[in-house]
A and B are shown apart, each in its own frame.
Chain A
Amino acid sequence: MRIELTVNGAKHVLDIEARTTLLDCLRDHLGLKGAHAGCEHGVCGACTVLCDGAAVRSCLMFAPQAEGSTITTIEGVTPAPGELSPVQDAFCETHGMQCGYCTPAMILTAHALLAGNPDPTRDEIVEAISGNICRCTGYAQIVEAISLAAERMRGTNTPGGPRP
């Protein structure tokens, strides 16, 4: 079936099987490999993307359900080619990643959190990422990264969120 999606600012018309998950659609049809396939049944959170601004699991949506939605993947959060978003920068600085498998999803979840709550408490950060599993870092540096990004984004008048 034919569906229309806006992904990272670009409109796409795709001819796909209805059973294609949004995750497979992004990875295999649009070549956006930053959305990671982990458990593929909604437990690990590695496939998290933004759907109309909300963090969602792209493995738990069939692509036709997302018809007409605006999707942002990790490839879409950078302000310009060669630059990093404030959240990506903070993850580098605080060593908020090791193997990197959970990282795109963590960063998108952090973007969604900070868009609605620019000054989250530690508990709010922990709650926000509670659906994203990381097997390397022990989470401490991830929490630190999100906190640092929040502080920087509050202190600047440059929009830090994903580009429209």
Chain B
Amino acid sequence: MKSAPFAYSRPADVDEACALLAADDGARVIAGGQSLVPMMAMRLAWPTRLVDIARIASLSYVRDEKDAVAIGACTRQCAIERDQVVARRLPLLARTMPFIGHGATRARGTIGGSLAHADPAAELPLIAVTLDATLSYRLNGNTGDIAARDFFQGLMMTALPAGACLASVRFPVWPGKVGSGFHEVNARRSDFAFVAAAAQVQLDEDGKCRRIAIGVGAATATPIRLGAAEKALTGIVLGGKQVADAVRDALSDIEPLDDLHASAAYRRRAAAALAARAVADAKTDAERARHAH
């Protein structure tokens, strides 16, 4: 047995889960467990109680709302990967799903678990930040919201209040024809990313960029948006040189992680290359979407 001993509870609903968390400082939520169980196996985490929310049916759904898609925290990654609403309305999320772990971990892993775990190398936090998602949680019988850009605070640190249980994440849907791009580098397919970049683009009638979101993950402790590049690229035709210059400038003042997998200099260089590629893919994708109608 590798993990330290713990008590195990399977609450019937979210508020019961919150009560269990409130009663024990050492209690932790488990959903799919694909990040928490390895940490427990290596004794990097030793919760006194696991509150298993995986079977709370009201936390597992993909809901098409007017201007957004809401996804329950316990929705399994494999379900999101196959979901038709996600494929149609959240092309960037749909494109990224196959990069998350492996088939066998997506079969158990949940979207809320990945967001709450906040691994800097994880894809879902990057997509949440890139698409300006809003995360909702339950605490003391109330619901609270946190914008994704405020949620991720550091390496595996989030703004989720102590004792709260993440309930859902809401991704705004961009109207009209949009294109998306996603790239990452890692040691083997679907392994932890050293650097990842995501982009979503909307073009106007003249082929100029009407709206763009560019995010970079795994390069820094939390996912970042390249706001300066987004500003510089809005309203122009997305040419290779303009995009490369804009993303390189936007990345000039970041403080990249530096570890045995990749140096800070490599991460900065790779981030610029991958972000430019993601934007180029998003542009091509958006042109295709425009011409399809």
Which residues of A are interface residues toward B (Cβ below 8 A)? Answer: 1, 17-21, 24, 40-42, 45, 48, 51, 54-57, 59-62, 64-65, 67, 109, 112, 126-128, 130-131
Query: In the assembled complex, how far is the CB of residue B187 from the closest CB belonging to chain A, in whole angstroms?
Result: 11
A54 surroundings in chain B (CB, below 8 A)? 78, 104, 107
Report whether over half of chain A's contact residues are helix, strand or loop; otherwise say mixed. mixed
Which residue from A40, A45, A127, A128 sits with its C-beta under 8 Å from B41? A40
Min distance, Cβ A35 to any Cβ of chain B, angstroms: 13
Q: Are the CB atoms of A65 and B2 closer together than 8 Å?
A: no
Q: Is B26 an interface residue (CB 8 A)?
A: no
Given A18-B7, A41-B42, A56-B107: A61 and B102 interface contact (C-beta under 8 Å):
no
Determine chain B's interface SS by DSSP, over half rule.
Answer: loop
Residues 50-82 of B contacting A (Cβ, < 8 Å): 50, 52, 54, 78
Q: Which of B3-52 contact A (CB under 8 A)?
A: 3-8, 10, 30, 33-34, 37-38, 40-42, 50, 52
Question: Within the assembled complex, what's the spacing in Å between the Cα atoms of A65 and B3?
Answer: 15
A73 CB to nearest B CB, Å: 14
B190 on the A face (CB < 8 A): yes
Distance (whole angstroms) from the CB of A113 to the closest CB of chain B: 8
* From B2, B7, B34, contact of A40 by CB (8 A): B2
Chain A residues near B34: list those with CB within 8 A: 42, 57, 60
Q: How far is the CA of A51 from the CA of B32 in the complex (A)?
A: 13
If A45-B104, A60-B33, A130-B190 are given as contacts, then 17 extra A-B residue pairs at C-beta distance below 8 Å, sorted by A number, are A17-B5, A18-B50, A40-B41, A42-B34, A42-B37, A42-B105, A55-B104, A56-B104, A57-B104, A57-B105, A59-B37, A59-B41, A60-B38, A65-B33, A130-B102, A131-B101, A131-B102
- 15 pairs, CB–CB < 8 Å, chain A vs chain B: A1-B8, A17-B1, A19-B4, A54-B78, A56-B104, A56-B107, A57-B105, A59-B37, A60-B34, A62-B30, A62-B37, A64-B10, A128-B103, A131-B102, A131-B103
Find the A residue at minimum CB distance from B37: A60
Q: Is B241 an interface residue (CB 8 A)?
A: no
| Cβ of B94 to closest chain A Cβ, rounded Å | 16
B108:A56 contact, CB within 8 angstroms: yes
Cβ contacts under 8 Å, B188 to chain A: 130
Asked if residues A64 and B8 are in contact (CB atoms below 8 Å), the reply is: yes
- Min C-beta distance of B102 to chain A, whole Å: 3
> Which of A45, A65, A128 has the most chain B CB atoms inside 10 A of its CB?
A65
Chain B residues 103 to 146 lying within 8 A of chain A, measured CB to CB, are: 103-105, 107-108
